[in-house]
Amino acid sequence: MQKSMPIAVITPDQAEADLFTAVLSELGFKKFTVFTSAKEAFEVCVRQLFPMFIIRMEMPELSGIVLIQKLRESGNYGLEVHLFVCNQLDSAVLNVLYEYDLNYVLSGEIRKNTIREKLQYMFAQESALHPNELEYRSARSAMYTNHLAMSEDILRKVLKSEPLLEKALVLMGDIYLRRAESTNAMQMYRKALTINSSSVGAAHKIAAVYLMRGEYTQAANALNDLVKLNPYNIKLLENAGLSNLGADRLDIAKSHMERLSGIDATNQTASEVMVSIKIKQGDYAGMIDLLRRSHDEKSLIQFLNNAGVKLSKGHDPAGALSMYKAAVEQLGDEHKYAHAIYYNMGVAWRRLDNAPRAIQLLKKALRLKSDFEKAQVLLEELEKLEESGKAS
């Protein structure tokens, strides 16, 4: 490994960080950045790329195991090396490390000599990687950065050499899953599971295929068990919440999302599922505050509008109107995007064949945003219909 590479050291304890940087300096590494906040580390590391991380599990606000997953899912990583540091390694953390192919762990009491031994071992391993491992990492990086064709081409070479390499089969399945090729994805995941019948990762991905197909009950049944084995896996928890929501197991979905919010407070899926549960139950209290945990104002309005459109198209325009009414009450007419909600309220009233009420709300949308073209077009259409009806 090049000694000029930048290294991110993420630990809440400056004294511990000093131990790591002292050993790194002794080993000839000079470029390292210390973070004592995992949130700050994430914000910086998605913009400034680091080929190596030393990450402490026990970080306040955002644990190290969650930070690693968020970095990978940002689309900027895949080739980087991690030294994962923790007080005690348990099976729940180990399952995430295995799924994300993280091989280097330093646990227990942290001393200078143990740091040096672990780093020397890690650098020796990384300097002598098998060509297939290098190819696999390149494929993984390409997949995370959404270069799917490139990733697939590399993986085919890897699997030609090692057809039973579990992690390569799972990664190939991930490529197919991103392309919504569920049959091919399922084939890869099931093959991986035959190689390692205890693979939580492969079992999770099979459930993800069920979810993509809309087979919510089958997905939920599998994921509810897997969450017990892998409670730190963000994507697994997201899928568990979505599948239980789809299967109308609302209390279970809520429980999973509360767990997810506990480890990743700004997770978008968690807040969206929680609000979707509220909408299904007709309980709109606090839904805006929930969405604001993870959404900016524009994406918040987009989610509410999409939820209302779904209700309207599902033959429940009255439910959409109730949700929109609660939304504008919580947001206020002064909100930057309130006009969009009033427009959709007008559309819902139109579906209920109440043109006068629809016209009233479309006019309100235009008072808030005078150049709102969609509202103007629909208003003119409804006013013409009203006039023709009066004339007849």
Q: What is the CA radius of gyration of the chain?
A: 25
Domains for the chain: give ranges and CATH numbers: 7-128 (3.40.50.2300), 299-392 (1.25.40.10)
pLDDT band for position 389 (cuts 50, 70, 90) = low
Check residue 390 and give its pLDDT.
62
- Express each pLDDT in 70-113 by its tens digit: 999 998 898 999 999 999 999 999 999 999 999 999 999 999 99
What is the pTM for the complete model shown?
0.90
pLDDT band for position 360 (cuts 50, 70, 90) = very high
Check residue 100 and give its pLDDT.
92
**CA of 133: how far to CAs of 76, 129, 167, 184, 291, in Å?**
19, 6, 10, 23, 41
Order of strands, edge to edge, in the sheet holding 104-107? 32-35, 7-10, 52-56, 81-86, 104-107
What are the backbone angles phi and psi of residue 383, rounded to the nearest 5°?
-65, -35
- Express each pLDDT in 300-356 by its tens digit: 999 998 999 888 887 888 898 999 999 999 999 899 999 999 999 998 898 888 999
Residue 392 has pLDDT above 70, yes or no: no
